[in-house]
Amino acid sequence: MRFWKMLALAAVTAFATSAAVAAELPDLKGRTIVAVTENAYTPLNFVDPKTGQGVGWEYDAFNEIAKRLNAKVEWKLASWDTMIQAVRDGQFDVGMDGITINDERKKQVDFSAPYMVSQQLMLVRADESRFKDAASFKPDDKLLVGAQAGTTNFFVAVYNVLDGDEKNPRIKLFDTFGASVQALKTGDVDTVLMDKTSADGYIGASPGSFKVVGEPLGTEEFGFILKPGSDLTAPFNAAIAALKADGTFDKLNQKWFYEYRAGQ
């Protein structure tokens, strides 16, 4: 009996805590927030082939954040290589594309609190047998990495997998993250580094095409980027805390990293 009373009390306390967090959220009074992404980072943001619309974990999460803050979202698209500068210049209110929080980027933009923690992994073709991890990949000069310049994936490939030379010819650069994965699938490169969430997404979206090898090469936190000094940072952080507390992010993880994968 004592156990069930404690369980009930814990449930009530958790509910009360979530409700309290939600009740404290700021009211943006119908303000329109201009949000930008790339639509090339499955399952965080990508184009639904059935509808042609942008979908994914980040879309769902940010739409819910805006809803709870009494705001509207106007979605825009931009390439990865222009996104940080565009947000810094105020062309957009907020940007998202699985952007890793790091000190170098903090010099250019503000970050929200982390909304996701992930690790860098080596995605390879499902039939890959020439190497099994970063250590066995590095010595073979014939093996190539696909990446986008300036991304976390690029820098981890340079410094954690290869020799620290950012101009190493073994790194093949692509305009979009999706293009690098397509190059992996067709055999033009031999690995693409990505966070675990995206690796799960690509493996689920194309069963039998890919697998992950080796151990994680590092842990990273993702955050929304905003113009330095933005008045939206504090409201976003409050909403992120609320969505974590009430299990909304857990539900989105289930939807996009398990159910979406299973449905492909």
Residue 8 inside a domain? The answer is: no
Q: Which helix (H) or strand (E) holds 89?
A: none
47-63 mean pLDDT: 96
Residues 208 and 186 in one domain: yes
pLDDT band, residue 264 (cuts 50/70/90): low
Q: At what angle do helices 233-245 and 2-23 cross, to 10 degrees?
A: 160
pLDDT band, residue 261 (cuts 50/70/90): low
Least confident of 91-100, 200-209, 217-226: 200-209
Report how far residue 178's alpha carbon sits from residue 203's, in angstroms, rounded to the nearest whole number.
13
Residues 104 and 128 in one domain: no
Q: What is the pLDDT of residues 119-160, one digit of tens each?
A: 889 999 999 999 999 999 999 999 999 998 888 889 889 999
Residues 227 and 104 in one domain: yes
pLDDT band, residue 23 (cuts 50/70/90): low
In angstroms, what CA-CA distances link 224 with 50, 77, 237? 27, 15, 10
pLDDT at 37: 97
Residue 36 inside a domain? The answer is: yes
Entry pTM = 0.69
pLDDT greater than 80 at residue 15: no
Report how far residue 20's alpha carbon sits from residue 97's, in angstroms, rounded to the nearest whole number.
30
Residues 45 and 163 in one domain: no
Residues 131 and 213 in one domain: yes
pLDDT at 181: 93
Domain ranges, residue 132: 118-219
Residue 176 structure tokens: 């979009």
Residues 201 and 130 in one domain: yes
pLDDT at 5: 34
205-232 mean pLDDT: 93
Q: Contact at 8 Å (CB) between 64 and 243? A: yes
Residues 67 and 197 in one domain: no
Residues 152 and 59 in one domain: no
- Phi/psi-derived region of residue 8, left when phi > 0, alpha when psi is between -120 and 50, beta in every other case: alpha
Q: Contact at 8 Å (CB) between 38 and 79? A: yes
pLDDT greater than 50 at residue 16: no
CATH number, position 81: 3.40.190.10
Q: Which helix (H) or strand (E) holds 111?
A: strand 110-111
Q: How many domains does the chain have?
A: 2
21-49 mean pLDDT: 89
First vs last C-alpha separation in the chain: 45
Report how far residue 156's alpha carbon sits from residue 191's, in angstroms, rounded to the nearest whole number.
12
Residues 55 and 92 in one domain: yes
Residue 13 inside a domain? The answer is: no
Residues 53 and 183 in one domain: no
Residues 92 and 124 in one domain: no
Last residue of some domain: 219, 234, 254? 219
Q: What is the pLDDT of residues 168-179, one digit of tens each?
A: 999 999 988 889
pLDDT greater than 90 at residue 258: no
